[in-house]
């Protein structure tokens, strides 16, 4: 609590300032000194700035999807922004809850694998915010009673409406992680008295994301509590996938070529083309000669996969018919020659 000065102390300070005995400029400079946050060596930070930056991008994306979902469900306009992302101990989160608060307990799995152990993700909404959304869901204007007590307990009907809204909000949460990994968020249950439930160890590391939701006549806070076990597993998976991606991006042309060298490839040499009547083909005998209209100096086309790749000349090699390649066609020429 700040110290309260008496009138005599105030008069003494004023007189000292007038006489010059008190250096006001020095006190002003002292007040303008940059303040640094003290580092707690007892509980060192588990997640780096890069991790926090990734979470910020994920939940910025989530807020944009949440705006569309809430506007569609509640038939109104709202603004959703990420205000804070802080690494804390769980007791700092739980101590801020009261008996009248409601917690949304969410299970998370990745590709069918539970990566949270027994520590779920927790969502907390301010009571006035949820009551306003419930009123809009039932067709009202979303006005909230200003005389609402701090320890207000939701009725059974309000709990059902709360659960319906929570399902909508949770269902789209996994989509915002798709750029990094596949996560599925599923509502487990609604807890109406969080002070009696110890879901996460009090000294466990968690990351709290503070999201502000604003309607024309009401605003409130949505808090997402991500357990450290979940985030550690997720960041490990992201790191592995990024390393795998880098390895896949390396040049493996030599290995690929070594594999292809042992493959069979069909090459067709075309001497020429002509047309024959069926009766002429029927009476062909051994030793007959067919004029292809192809001179000796005209290149022979070599086809691979139905497309001309090379041009060459007919000859022999070791008493076998052979084609000496003399020209390599470019892609444009291959495309032009497809109709030959």
Q: What is the pLDDT of residues 80-129, one digit of tens each?
A: 999 999 998 888 888 888 877 889 999 888 776 666 667 889 999 988 89
Same domain, yes or no: 224 and 313: no
Average pLDDT, integer, range 247-273: 75
Same domain, yes or no: 133 and 176: yes
182 has pLDDT over 90: no
Domain interval for residue 296: 263-337
Per-residue pLDDT, 225? 92
Question: Directed axis angle between helix 156-171 and helix 49-74, to 10°?
Answer: 120
Which residue do the tokens 């020659």 mark?
Answer: 337
Conformation bin of residue 226: beta by default, left when phi > 0, alpha when psi is -120 to 50? beta
Same domain, yes or no: 79 and 129: yes
The answer to whether residue 38 sits within a structural domain is: no
The answer to whether residue 31 sits within a structural domain is: no
Nearest to 91 by CA among 202, 243, 240: 202
Total domains, the chain: 2
Same domain, yes or no: 118 and 191: yes
The answer to whether residue 6 sits within a structural domain is: no
Quickly count: other Cβ atoms within 10 Å of residue 233's Cβ: 19
Same domain, yes or no: 220 and 182: yes
Per-residue pLDDT, 23? 59
The answer to whether residue 222 sits within a structural domain is: yes
User: How do residues 204-252 score in pLDDT, each as one tens digit?
Assistant: 889 999 999 999 888 899 999 999 888 888 888 888 777 665 555 556 6
Query: Domain with 289 in it: what CATH number?
Result: 2.30.330.10
**What are the distances in angstroms from CA 120 to CA 76, 107, 166, 200?**
31, 5, 15, 8
């Amino acid at each position: 609590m700040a110290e309260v000065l008496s009138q005599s102390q105030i008069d003494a300070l004023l007189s000292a300032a007038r006489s010059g005995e008190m250096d006001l400029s020095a006190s002003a400079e002292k007040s303008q000194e940059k303040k640094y946050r003290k580092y707690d060596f007892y509980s060192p930070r588990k997640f780096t700035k890069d991790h926090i930056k990734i979470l910020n991008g994920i939940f910025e994306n989530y807020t944009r999807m949440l705006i569309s979902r809430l506007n569609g469900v509640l038939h109104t306009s709202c603004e959703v922004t990420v205000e804070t992302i802080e690494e804390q101990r769980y007791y700092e989160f739980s101590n801020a809850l009261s008996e009248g608060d409601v917690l949304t307990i969410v299970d998370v799995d990745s590709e069918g694998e539970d990566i949270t152990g027994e520590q779920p993700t927790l969502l907390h909404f301010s009571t006035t915010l949820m009551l306003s959304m419930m009123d809009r869901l039932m067709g009202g204007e979303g006005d909230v009673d200003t005389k609402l007590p701090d320890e207000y307990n939701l009725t059974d009907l309000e709990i059902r409406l709360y659960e319906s809204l929570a399902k909508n909000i949770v269902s789209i949460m996994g989509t915002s992680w798709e750029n990094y990994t596949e996560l599925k968020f599923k509502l487990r249950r609604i807890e109406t008295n969080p002070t009696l439930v110890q879901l996460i160890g009090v000294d466990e590391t968690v990351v709290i994301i503070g999201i502000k939701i604003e309607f024309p006549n009401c605003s409130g806070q949505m808090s997402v509590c991500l357990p450290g076990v979940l985030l550690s597993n997720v960041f490990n998976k992201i790191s592995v996938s990024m390393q795998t991606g880098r390895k896949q991006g390396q040049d493996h042309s030599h290995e690929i070529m070594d594999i292809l060298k042992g493959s069979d490839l069909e090459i067709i040499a075309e001497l020429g083309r002509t047309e024959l009547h069926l009766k002429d083909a029927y009476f062909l005998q051994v030793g007959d000669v067919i004029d292809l209209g192809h001179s000796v100096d005209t290149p022979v086309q070599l086809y691979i996969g139905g497309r001309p790749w090379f041009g060459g000349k007919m000859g022999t090699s070791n008493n076998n018919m052979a084609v000496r390649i003399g020209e390599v066609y470019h892609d444009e020429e291959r495309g032009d020659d497809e109709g030959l």
